[in-house]
Structure 1
Amino acid sequence: MCTTCGCGDPAGTRYTALRHDHSHDHSHGHHHPHDRGAGARTVPLEERVLARNDQLAAANRRLLAERGVHAVNLMSSPGSGKTTLLERTIRELGDSVPVAVVEGDQETLLDAERIRATGRPVVQINTGEGCHLDAAMLERGLRELDLAPRSLVFVENVGNLVCPALFDLGESTRVVVMSVTEGEDKPLKYPHMFRTADLVLLNKIDLLPHVEFDVARCAQQIRRINPGADVLHVSATRGAGLPEWCAWLRKRAITIYCEPEI
């Protein structure tokens, strides 16, 4: 988290709603301490950061539940194919459900521009030196979006397999995207990320003939860490597994709508 990895310049966080013709520059309103000289205070300080974040996440969760909005936190390492997956998912869902997107990156509007091309509302959050989104950032991003009742909002987190797993955003569902080009040992190396997942999407399966990747071993490792996680195989570029992924989303959303997580 921030107190150990040293990420984040509060003044450097920027919010840009691409459906508008102007940008919004804001601080995300919390301090990341960098003075770690008092080592005995590190753990209590980290606990306070997470406790404050959890309070804000609970408020986000209540707001989303009141509107019947199903929020999906997409997490992965860089280059796993999250943005391509989002583009294909939006096309696959079509007009069956309203969709909005919150994009998280350290810099650039590149991914948000790609989502805007699909015709869906999108807000880009640039975290500067920060390596994850937190609940305060998401709250500001949600304010920029006109969330339709009973809709889906995808949150594409900053590419990182460590910090995003620690920060509750108030989401309904956590999905980890992992590509076959990364190696099947990722669940063992980053167990907390996979332990918090509701679903693991194994992406780029079209490349299996060209890489050394043991699908069965990977699934075994995921289940060892998180027996309750679902695992689906997809190819965001070729479309394989996309109907199953969208069916999983619809079923999960129905469950959340019927039993809101407050």
Structure 2
Amino acid sequence: MCDTCGCNVTSGNAHLVTNDGKYTRTEDGKSAITVLKNLLSENDHVAAHNREHFDRHGALAINLMSSPGSGKTALLEATIEALKNEFSIAVIEGDLETENDAERIRNKGVPAIQITTGNACHLDAHMVHDALHKLDSSKIDILFIENVGNLVCPASFDLGQHRNITLLSVTEGDDKPAKYPVMFRAADLMLLTKSDLLAVLDDFDPAKAEHALRHLASEAPVIELSARKGLGLAQWFEWLRSEIKAQRERVANNETIRPNIQPEGVELHQADSHHHHHDHSHS
């Protein structure tokens, strides 16, 4: 398991591996691998339950992923401001600590449930399931799940969402899709945020960022926008409207859709965390 950040065992699934939990005891010599596989299997089971819940109520669930500070909450604020009279919106916020982002969303007049993950660098399906008990899903058209700011693990855990959106701020560098392929391969849409800063940045080329995405064999659309300045938001809103329409059609036909989950992200993060832990122990 990941000893450094504890990302595989979360507050949502800890009951499965502690005390007399379902996976407390495993085969000798295979405990870490077995527990990880069991936790992912349990997560997928709960995620499927969450997705059935969304579909039953006709809600579209969208998972927002990015590094910290890329503008996820600012995007949600602008989206709520523009669409709250057109659609019923709710938000689940994931952060290591604080209710700051949830408070920002509530100030826009929509329900927001804050999940504080402690040491876990991503949300999981158990956490989302618990949060759903605090929302009236029958009154939701779009549920945005703002995942913890992290460019690896969030792509590897199915939450029950229908779509994944990865945000890339122009302040981060146009090579991020190449450096973090797991995250960007999982994206159904890539948003290049803070695009108003392109005028003063000479080291970010949107074309290079999109080329890096295409190099991953991804056909996800790319939208440049600035939540603060309102640039590109119309295209983003149209994408949302088309997705809501598609979700309603799926529900009418008793169909669903599962996003592109990247399970190898857990293994990559586990290896990376152990590498850093090893380096630290010899410093």
TM bracket (short chain): 0.7 to 0.9
**Displacement after TM superposition at 1:72 (Å):** 0.5
The two structures have a TM-score, normalised by structure 2, of 0.81
Q: Distance in 2 between matches of 1:226 and 1:203?
A: 22
Q: Which residue of structure 2 lines up, in the alignment, with residue 215 of structure 1?
A: 206
Query: Which of 232, 239, 247 is the equivalent residue of 1:256?
Result: 247
Query: Which of 84, 91, 98 is the equivalent residue of 2:74?
Result: 84
Name the amino acid aligned to 1:252.
E
Q: Distance in 1 between matches of 2:198 and 2:33?
A: 43
CA root-mean-square deviation: 2.4
SS of residue in 2 equivalent to 1:97: coil
The two structures have a TM-score, normalised by structure 1, of 0.87
Kindly tell me: are residues 88 and 10 of structure 1, through their superposed partners in 2, closer, same or farther at Cα, counting changes over 3 Å? same
SS of residue in 1 equivalent to 2:137: coil
> Is the 1:87–1:115 Cα contact (8 Å) retained in structure 2?
yes
Please state if 1:123 is matched with 2:118.
Answer: no
Query: Which of 125, 129, 144 is the equivalent residue of 1:139?
Result: 129
The equivalences for 1:1-262 within 5 A come to: 5-7=5-7, 10=10, 29-31=15-17, 40-149=30-139, 151-211=141-201, 212-259=203-250, 260-261=255-256
**Displacement after TM superposition at 1:6 (Å):** 2.5
**Displacement after TM superposition at 1:40 (Å):** 4.7
Kindly tell me: are residues 2 and 116 of structure 1, through their superposed partners in 2, closer, same or farther at Cα, counting changes over 3 Å? farther
Residue identity over aligned pairs, in percent, reads: 47
**Displacement after TM superposition at 1:45 (Å):** 2.8
Name the amino acid aligned to 1:250.
R
**Displacement after TM superposition at 1:98 (Å):** 0.2
User: In the TM superposition, what whole-angstrom CA distance separates every residue of 1:205-256 from its partner, at most 9, and x where no partner exists?
Assistant: 1001222101111101111214321111110110111111011011012112
Indicate the structure (1 or 2) with the bigger Cα radius of gyration. Answer: 2
User: In the TM superposition, what whole-angstrom CA distance separates every residue of 1:72-109 from its partner, at most 9, and x where no partner exists?
Assistant: 10000000000000000111113101000000001001
User: In the TM superposition, what whole-angstrom CA distance separates every residue of 1:101-151 from its partner, at most 9, and x where no partner exists?
Assistant: 000001001101100000001100001111100000000111101123461
> Is the 1:188–1:221 Cα contact (8 Å) retained in structure 2?
yes
> Is the 1:75–1:160 Cα contact (8 Å) retained in structure 2?
yes
**Displacement after TM superposition at 1:46 (Å):** 2.0
Q: Which residue of structure 2 lines up, in the alignment, with residue 22 of structure 1?
A: none
Query: Which structure 1 residue ranges, 5 or more long, are not aligned?
Result: 14-26
Q: Distance in 1 between matches of 2:102 and 2:140?
A: 23
Q: What is the total number of aligned residue pairs between the two structures?
A: 246
Query: Which structure 2 residue ranges, 5 or more long, are not aligned?
Result: 258-283
Q: Distance in 2 between matches of 1:241 and 1:230?
A: 13
Name the amino acid aligned to 2:190.
V
Name the amino acid aligned to 2:7.
C
SS of residue in 1 equivalent to 2:126: helix
> Is the 1:92–1:242 Cα contact (8 Å) retained in structure 2?
no
